[in-house]
Structure 1
């Protein structure tokens, strides 16, 4: 099949309009229409249902669009490797991680990365959904469990524990719990049990809720939990990596914490030589070393 026709077909399918695809490709609507018709004739099939409000893919069109999408992702990966053959670190790097880790740990540290590599552009995708790295939905991922996808390079970065925290102001007003049973007199702030989260964190919350706690504030991510704790609403279940940037938080019931939660960095095997990946990986590792050193100095490890 003619790649030029496939490229134009993909643009039309993506835009849902001949006109919009033409604008993207810098071609006239008639030129785009001719190429699509020629592709349909060569395949002896109809690729689009034509409606007044735009174009909708037929079943055959959907199959072809899936194929061209995969081809374009592969081409993007090849282009990235070619660009990365240069010594400079530049261009877009798509990073995916959880909302909590990305908001509370990674984002506050990115100024250092930009200071070192001003031509690097980070596309930070914060969500609990695990994106498909081999299919280039993202370039690099930081996840709270080891990725199971094939053809990935994995590196364990550190371990995280879920712990209980409150502000000094809250504890002065409501008192400091001395046992898990005392939590029944406090508001517990935690991630909603129906939200995507690691099993160790969910297990800790379940055990805490067994203490006949009368008031609970559920939030669907740890950023929200932290904000509620900082505003003196109660005792929060938070990952221990927040303590460096919020040193005034007081840890409650130090004998209570979740099991070990491993943090992994992963990226596709085909990006092994990527300068951008290497720069980001080294930056994260250096920040983790610095993070742990500061926690030791604060007596929080």
Structure 2
């Protein structure tokens, strides 16, 4: 119900980072540089996995999807955030805000499921090697990836439709650098119980259950690795999953810390820093971790460089 003394809000104002002053331009240059490196690194992995026949395996197929997810996640948040920093705040429409949240949520949820699928892949490869090729064939890989992207889109679009139906009045300032869920819902002057209930019901399927699944699979993986008699065999088995485990810890750690923390008062600044971490630092670390710690990636990179030098790259 509308009240006469309420002004309906159709636009929001993103505050971004306050009191940067002399650090505004250096901060902008730093984040812009990280963004360029992140997009370049992740797109490089996507292209490398696509072009190299030796990397046409389930593990690298999922890695390519993870890099694609990181690319889209960064593109949905960082360009607008850089504009907010440069202008010291920016106005964004309600539709634009919800659209950004939908794209961001889609990529975040899809990445949770892709990381879960990657842990399943490593479990089958290490714990069930004799059945691995028959289970994790191309159709299964494609099905799991499509399911991950589809669930991410479904859960995010439901939340965003419910948010778009909310009423916003009197206050339109979002104390954040992008349209995240908690800052938007806090501004609503209507009943948010439906969207709160929806998020409460789907969060275990997005964060809790996948995270528990990853933990359980890695317990079995470590037990299997410890049972390998040769030191070389143990090292080889562990090297195939160490990069993925590092990325999982970074990604789930930051997501859980921000969405399980209080959303009011002093925690807003902490949420900004944590959000900056998983929207910029984690997508940057993924290609770095896989490029530095993965011998196959480094080997194929060297092959492509040599082919380019000899004019054989096509």
Q: Give the TM-score of the pair, scaled to structure 1.
A: 0.25
More relative contact order in 1 or in 2 (CA 8 Å, sep 6+)? 2
Q: Relative to total residues, which structure has the larger strand share, 1 or 2?
A: 1
Q: Relative to total residues, which structure has the larger helix share, 1 or 2?
A: 2
